Structure 1
Amino acid sequence: MSDIITSGAVHSELALAAYATNLVKGEAPDVKKLKKAGMTEAQAQAFKDNYTVVEQFNGVMGGSMTVFEDMTATSTWRFAGHSQLT
């Protein structure tokens, strides 16, 4: 059961980080940008220490995609989000 909870927490954190904008490819995500996306200081710092930005795309219609690479493992995570059109 704890693996399910841990996995859910990781996915939630990745999804939240995907809303950070103007991240730089090949670098750790910027703490200020992660905080602006909704993370706490501690969450943002821990995320920065564990992930790098592989790619980020922001479409003109509000769609976005960010790919993060986990520096502690060999996996790559992909998350997409979008903002509402107004």
Structure 2
Amino acid sequence: MTLIERILISPGGYAHLPRSCVHYVDDLRAAGWGWINEPDPLYWDRIAVDNPAPATNGNLGLTADRRCTHCENAFRAV
């Protein structure tokens, strides 16, 4: 099981993993992103339209209901 240090949540509602795709930004707070620190290792797989992930840090108004395919592919390659 791969440990995830943080799940990033873009203003567009996508879940991302740090440094796993071209959508990554250096200053999350300034870009208006939210994130979840040290999520349960299985949390990434559960993110879906019927199980959105709310931000717990940064922009608390954001939720992710889908995973970035680039991040998903990078996660599966580990």
Bigger proportion of residues as helix: 1
Higher relative contact order (CA closer than 8 Å, sequence separation 6+): 2
Shorter-chain TM-score bucket reads 0.3 to 0.5
Q: TM-score, normalised by structure 2?
A: 0.35
| Higher Cα radius of gyration | 1
